[in-house]
Structure 1
Amino acid sequence: MSTTPKLPSNKPGRPKSWTRAKMALFLRELAASQSVTQAAKSVGLTRQSAYRLRARLKGTPFDLGWEVALEMGFDQLAHAVMDRAVNGEEVPHYYKGELVGTHRRHDNALARWVLENPWRLGRMQVAREYTAPGFEALLERIEWANLDWEEGESLPVPGGPIEERAVGAKREDAFAACSWYAGEARKGRGSGK
């Protein structure tokens, strides 16, 4: 049986604190803004209190929700990096304060880095699986269920059946064993690169 981490209560005279609804709203805003400060402010709390809450709830659905929210931002960043690597960037040319033309500059070092490190454009494999459809299910889980994982609890797989975490881990290991992409990602993550 798991013990549920306690959230501070809102008592008279005590500053506002985290509720499950605020946790879900915070994660939605974090996914949209990629700013812990902005997300905390949107629920009337501070960045420091958000980090304290995450530390207290390490290894829980909220912790995974935080990673998923950041992963959604990394997807946006990855698209921007890929666009810049493929299409370059427009460089304006001015003469006496007036725009007279542009040229496109390509960053070959960036393109080479993307080709050599495709797995480094994201964060956490489990978080990747939850982006999009799984994120809403995870937020609902955070808002309405136990704050900690239940013993033997299954994780929902977006668009698919429910799997036990052990089954999901085996599936990820099997994928890593046969995929150069995932295998390299694990090597890179383990070596501190």
Structure 2
Amino acid sequence: MTHDDCEWRQAFLDSLRVTGNVSAAARLVGRSRASLYRMRRVDPDFASAWQDALEEAVDWLELEALRRAVEGTEENRFSKGEVVGTITRYSDSLLMFLLKARRPWLYDRRVLRGGQTDTDEDSFDALRSALEEKLDRLADPPAKD
């Protein structure tokens, strides 16, 4: 492999690691998606590095989802066209999605109904209620003195 090949491959993999998007990474290095997929099929090392880059991109997405679910995002509040304050919004749906992905046997109804766990519907409802209470406490933290 030539030095130029190493450079564009590394640039492609770096872009893929950051964006998780093959098209964007291909454009960056001036290659077609088809040629890159062809190379991936014939070069096991390239295929492995490609997969690693995609896994890292997904890891970053998971971290961002977790941040939005737990730390929330700031939203401006307006009055008469002017910002008068901010409010922190938490994403319950992102949190539930992360829980389902990490512990499907506890939080994913499809798994619960599929007989893959002995957790019954009442247990699921109790877990969900406990989680919702915690989310409510996170959404309304006690006032600071």
- TM-score, length-normalised on structure 1? 0.45
Largest Rg, 1 or 2: 2
Q: Deviations over 1:26-78 (max 9, x none)?
A: 21222133232232223221223222322x327x1211111101111111111
Determine the structure 2 residue equivalent to 1:94. Answer: 78
**1:83 positional shift:** 0.6
Higher RCO structure, 1 or 2 (CA under 8 Å, sep 6+): 1
Using a 3 Å threshold, how does the CA distance of structure 1 residues 28 and 110 change in structure 2: closer, same or farther?
Answer: closer
Report how many aligned residue pairs link the two structures.
104
Larger helix percent: 2
Map residues 169-180 of structure 1 onto 2, 5 A cutoff.
none
Cα distance in 2 between the residues matched to 1:48 and 1:98: 50
RMSD (Å) for aligned C-alpha atoms = 2.9
Share of identical aligned residues, percent? 35
Corresponding residue number in structure 1 for 2:24: 38
**Residue 48, structure 1, aligned to residue 30, structure 2:** no
Q: Distance in 2 between matches of 1:107 and 1:31?
A: 25
TM-score normalised over the length of structure 2: 0.58
Measured in 2, the distance between the counterparts of 1:46 and 1:39 equals 10
Ranges in structure 2 where 5+ consecutive residues have no aligned partner: 106-110, 112-145
* SS in structure 1 at match of 2:67: helix
Secondary structure of the residue aligned to 2:74 is: strand
Distance 1:73 1:96, change over 3 A: same
Query: Counterparts of 1:107 and 1:29 in 2: how far apart (Å)?
Result: 28
- Please give the secondary structure, in 1, of the residue aligned with 2:31: coil
